[in-house]
Amino acid sequence: MDIRTALLQGAQLLEDARISAPRLTAEVLLAHAAAKPREWLYAHSSDELSELWWIHYGRYLHERLNGKPTQYITGRQEFYGRDFRVTPDVLIPRPETEHVIEAALQCSPRGLVLDIGTGSGAIAVTLALESAAHVFATDISAAALRVASENAGKLNAQVGFVACDLGASFRDSSFEMIVSNPPYVPAKDRASTQREVRDYEPAIAVWGGEDGLDFYRRLIPEARRLLQPGGCLIMELAYSAQEAVEAMLSGWIDIERRHDLAGLPRVIRARKSP
């Protein structure tokens, strides 16, 4: 079987299973099976698949048809123009989270910045590379911190990783800025949540309690403790969490929201009172 036919058949299988972007997914999976860039497939569409490529491609298609996210099959995801390693131990970075980066960079941080619940390290690594800040990152998962540390090393980012709950290892008033992409999917929505998220992404990074707000309830007081006077807290928002989170920020100043391309509030930024 040649590459062109393999792509057509794979894309059809994925389309029949209502997998999004079937052609693109087939290309990514076949390129991964062949250990080649996607562009290589176009220039070699009439080449025959080796037996090893065919075996791997078939296995990857089977995994994707069963709901496993493409990123966990290939072990990679792009974020802010850089390639990050991802495993089932970490949440897959989403394009929407880049709004957190933009909100942070708008403040031009130069002091200490803390990323709470770093996961793959996408936010922390990006801020370390895109700003003059000195970045630390925490996670309660040792497995996630291993992935984040690997990403920092691969991308030559200077980030200090600490295993702890929230910012428990740090002293009061230590940071100029705190950023976080909290777990915020309501547990009550479990049945309607995409199976790729529900069945494959780490529960600790997905579910935010019954109403999706549990992490915010803990994070905001912790940020008040850790931030210097006038310091900035930046958090990603669930689509329905804006009003509840704003109520939790009573006493904070300069509260600002950033919207995503769909017009939904995606990020909230607030400063600790001087």
The model's pLDDT over 166-217, given as tens digits with 9 standing for 90+, comes to 999 999 999 999 999 999 999 999 999 999 999 999 999 999 999 999 999 9
CB contact at 8 A, 157 and 87: no
Tell how strand 265-271 and strand 76-79 pair up.
Answer: unpaired
Rounded to whole angstroms, the Cα distance separating 140 from 175 reads: 19
Give me the percent of the chain exceeding a pLDDT of 90: 96
Q: Which of 11-15, 57-61, 263-267 has the lowest mean pLDDT?
A: 263-267
Is the pLDDT reported for residue 160 higher than 90?
yes
CB contact at 8 A, 157 and 125: yes
Rounded to whole angstroms, the Cα distance separating 35 from 29 reads: 10
Q: What is the pLDDT at residue 67?
A: 96
Q: What is the pLDDT at residue 238?
A: 87
CA contacts within 13 A on the Cβ side of 79:
29
- Provide CB contacts within 8 A for 201, sequence distance 6+: 69, 88, 91, 92
Task: Please tell me which residue, 1 or 74, carries the higher pLDDT value.
Answer: 74
| Residue range 80-271, CATH number | 3.40.50.150
DSSP state of 59: H
Q: Is 249 helix (H, G, I), strand (E, B) or coil?
A: coil
Tokens 């040649």 locate to 2
Give me the percent of the chain exceeding a pLDDT of 70: 100
Where are the domains positioned within the chain? 3-66, 80-271
pLDDT digit string, tens, across residues 90-101: 999 999 999 999
First-last CA distance in the chain: 68
**Average pLDDT over the chain, rounded to an integer:** 96
Both tokens of 196, joined, read: 């790729």
Both tokens of 125, joined, read: 């690594």
Both tokens of 203, joined, read: 């529960």
pLDDT digit string, tens, across residues 112-130: 999 999 999 999 999 999 9
Tell how strand 253-259 and strand 159-163 pair up.
Answer: unpaired
Rounded to whole angstroms, the Cα distance separating 177 from 107 reads: 9
pLDDT band at 143 (very low <50, low <70, confident <90, very high): very high
* Closest to 124 measured CA to CA, from 88, 150, 160, 153: 160
Query: What average pLDDT does the segment 1-20 reach?
Result: 96
Question: Which stretches within 35-172 are classed as H helix?
Answer: 38-43, 51-65, 70-74, 98-106, 122-130, 142-154
Exposed/middle/buried for residue 203 (C-beta within 10 Å: 0-12, 13-18, 19+)? exposed
Is the pLDDT reported for residue 274 higher than 90?
no
Q: What is the pLDDT at residue 240?
A: 85
Single-letter amino acid code for the residue at 18: R
Query: What average pLDDT does the segment 15-29 reach?
Result: 97
